[in-house]
Structure 1
Amino acid sequence: MKIQDIKSPSLFFVNAIGDAFISLPTIRSLNKTFNGNLAVITNSFLKPLFEEEGLKEIRTINSDIRYDDQNRAMYHFDIPDFKSVLNGTDFFIDINPWHVADNLNEFITLIKSVGINSIGYFDFYAEHISPDYRINSFDNVFRIACHINQQEAIDQYAYPPKVRKNIEEFTRGIRNYFPEDFILLGLHDETKPYKMWQAGKFELLINELQSRYSNLGILILSRSTSIDMENIYDGGRVLYFEDPLSIQVMTGFVSAIDYFIGIDSMFLHLADMYKVPSIGLFGPTNYREWGFRFTEGKEIISPTGKMEDIPLELVLHEMIQLIEKTK
């Protein structure tokens, strides 16, 4: 099927927020390929993120979240509802690089029954390409865009998520909390337990960095940090939030930081897109797949695959090296 013959393409993306950031270059590329006629089918909580991307339409779908044996989120779709959001679609694009449907057989039956052209990473689609988990996840997802339009390249689409002007002014104003000559380190410590580094090590890291840099402010980006402020040497130079933040506000805060350190999570990918000099801590997850793609970043890998075996001394050394190299 030729691109010019496709009038109403629908792109399917249902996943977590971090994966949504990774999907943005692909969505932007495909929207350009189809002259702004791309509709996106997605989770309702991702709608605010995609609303800023100039898409033809955003269709949200009903689903219940369940977890597989690898603790990955799976979605049990309301099949009649899914069928209704496909109305008018003449080309279905699935950019999820692993199965996201808990009721997969029903999902496959639906896709085959609606009789529209389709592309995705699995062999039940009319066109399919195999996912490549050996490469960075940004590039893995973007292979769909390149398959449809071979002239596309990821770098021109790898800019950060768009933030509304009032949110941008609010979040960048966070720097006014600190003196003008301060540098601001964003820190993220909270995600699924098996990907988290010990809170005590983060506390010691903050204290060591504060001792070395009197002009260092720290913004804790976590929705629910495990760091105990009672153990911080100078709590006045650390900001954190007790209430969950919206996607727009989280994005805006990352635009305000000078450096980032954190675990494998959505904020690492966001810092990557903002090209913030960064340190990422990796244990059981693959740093080649989930590490930095665009920024000057350093992945620190656990020697055992367990996060608790990443030594504090190494993280401190690499953070100091990064600050000294780029300040």
Structure 2
Amino acid sequence: MDAERPVVVVANGFGDHLLVLPAMRALAAMFKDRLRLVCAPWAADTFFHSLPFGEVLVMEKLRRSVAADGRTVIGHDFDADPLIGKLIAADLVMVLHPWFSPSLQQLLDGLAPARSIGFSPGYDESLATLCGQHWADRAFQVPRLLDPSLQIDDFAFAPEFAEESCRAAQAVWRQIPTTMRVLVVHADTKNEKMWLAARFARTIQRFLAYHPEFVVFVVGTSNTLRELCRFEARVIPCFGFDLATSMALVGRADLFLGIDSCMLHAADLWRVPGVGLFGPSDPAEFGFRFAPHRHVWADGAMTEIAEHQVIDALESLHAANGKTPRTRRPFGARSTPHSS
């Protein structure tokens, strides 16, 4: 905590930035305006919009680093030299993502901070990555190492987005009568983490048949679900928006249904009750952490998830949490964090 020129580094998938958001908030509060952020070019404006960084530096020529097989992604490489020149005299470097690469080693060697913290043997202090530990809790080990009194729930509140994204989301919500309730669905991501579109559509169809008070917002990039569902008048495609607007749409939902992705993590921080579908990834590490939820886990291929499992999870969650409409907070308003 006595560092004068601290630096925090993060670069990973979209959803990973939401997983580390509580840790990032804690560090920004701890170091006030002197914390410098190193990140992907798109990350600060989208995920860390309201945090008081002293400076934001982007990783130039950021690209995936692959293993010897030419296919397996093991991290990222970037141009370290410009960062070394701008971060001279950094005395504490904290890295919130799990990967380590030659570029990251070059950055650490060039800066030679008095202290470095991360999740691999390449740092002065290498933090444990316990099997089955949620990644939000793993990342939060970094601020807790500096101040053991910190609690993740104090920093795990809803994301805050730029005003233009909030206005765009508000315009969509104004089209929905206040008597209707909303299930937000997110179905598209990497192929291996997607559920079959036909099963998704049939599940939505059954849910809408049971619940005439609901409409469905489909966020993402694919219109397939609306085309497959006979309740198409109550399935509203929300495509073509920037990422922040889509996540803001999620934040006002009564229920969420989706695969392992950034939208699920957004729903979690918004405390939207949700059902998460998992195959190759472990929901204990990448699923819901804060909101009421159900996980359906195939522990392998997504094709192993049956429709009845998902509709049962949705109905169970709705019965436990979904009968009373959620309070529609103004867009950009901070939610009250709590454990669940």
Name which of 264, 271, 275 aligns with 1:279.
Answer: 275
TM-score normalised per structure 2: 0.87
Aligned: 1:308 with 2:303: yes
Moved more, 64-73 or 153-162: 64-73
Say which SS state the counterpart of residue 44 (structure 1) adopts: coil
Give me the whole-angstrom Cα distance separating, in 1, the residues matched to 2:180 and 2:195.
Answer: 26
Indicate if the aligned counterparts of 1:174 and 1:256 stay in contact, CA closer than 8 A. no
Partner residue in 1 for 2:83: 82
Indicate if the aligned counterparts of 2:161 and 2:248 stay in contact, CA closer than 8 A. yes
Say which SS state the counterpart of residue 219 (structure 1) adopts: strand
Give me the whole-angstrom Cα distance separating, in 2, the residues matched to 1:289 and 1:242.
Answer: 28
Q: Any residues of structure 2 matched to 1:110-189 within 5 Å, and which?
A: 110-117=107-114, 118-189=116-187
Are residues 308 and 85 of structure 1, via their aligned partners in 2, closer, same or farther at CA, if it must alter by over 3 Å? Answer: farther
Aligned: 1:42 with 2:43: no
Say which SS state the counterpart of residue 87 (structure 1) adopts: coil
Give me the whole-angstrom Cα distance separating, in 1, the residues matched to 2:83 and 2:21.
Answer: 22
Give the CA deviation at 1:95.
1.3
Q: Any residues of structure 2 matched to 1:37-116 within 5 Å, and which?
A: 37-48=34-45, 49-66=47-64, 68=66, 71-72=72-73, 74-99=75-100, 101=101, 104=102, 106-116=103-113
Give me the whole-angstrom Cα distance separating, in 1, the residues matched to 2:85 and 2:11.
Answer: 16
Say which SS state the counterpart of residue 51 (structure 1) adopts: coil
Give the CA deviation at 1:35.
2.8
Give the CA deviation at 1:9.
0.5
Indicate if the aligned counterparts of 1:65 and 1:73 stay in contact, CA closer than 8 A. no
Name which of 285, 288, 294 aligns with 1:289.
Answer: 285
Give me the whole-angstrom Cα distance separating, in 1, the residues matched to 2:80 and 2:167.
Answer: 42
Partner residue in 2 for 1:233: 230
Give the CA deviation at 1:149.
1.2
Aligned: 1:255 with 2:255: no
The residue identity in structure 1 corresponding to 2:229 is I
Q: How many residues are matched?
A: 317
Give me the whole-angstrom Cα distance separating, in 1, the residues matched to 2:74 and 2:170.
Answer: 32
Name which of 192, 195, 202 aligns with 2:193.
Answer: 195
Partner residue in 1 for 2:265: 269
Give me the whole-angstrom Cα distance separating, in 1, the residues matched to 2:277 and 2:66.
Answer: 24
Say which SS state the counterpart of residue 312 (structure 2) adopts: helix
Indicate if the aligned counterparts of 2:217 and 2:238 stay in contact, CA closer than 8 A. no
Q: Percent identity over the alignment? A: 23
Give me the whole-angstrom Cα distance separating, in 1, the residues matched to 2:242 and 2:48.
Answer: 13
Say which SS state the counterpart of residue 52 (structure 1) adopts: coil
Indicate if the aligned counterparts of 1:95 and 1:120 stay in contact, CA closer than 8 A. yes
Unpaired segments of 5 or more residues in structure 2?
A: 324-340
Give me the whole-angstrom Cα distance separating, in 2, the residues matched to 1:213 and 1:71.
Answer: 43
Give the CA deviation at 1:85.
3.6
Unpaired segments of 5 or more residues in structure 1?
A: none
RMSD of aligned alpha carbons: 1.9
The residue identity in structure 2 corresponding to 1:246 is D
The residue identity in structure 2 corresponding to 1:96 is H
Moved more, 278-287 or 158-167: 158-167
Q: Deviations over 1:148-181 (max 9, x none)?
A: 1111110000012112344324313422222221
Give the CA deviation at 1:84.
2.4
Partner residue in 2 for 1:318: 313
4+ long deviations beyond 6 Å? none
Indicate if the aligned counterparts of 1:63 and 1:75 stay in contact, CA closer than 8 A. no
Q: Deviations over 1:206-261 (max 9, x none)?
A: 11111111121101111x22624332112121111342x32321221112211100
Give me the whole-angstrom Cα distance separating, in 2, the residues matched to 1:262 and 1:153.
Answer: 28
Give the CA deviation at 1:73.
6.8
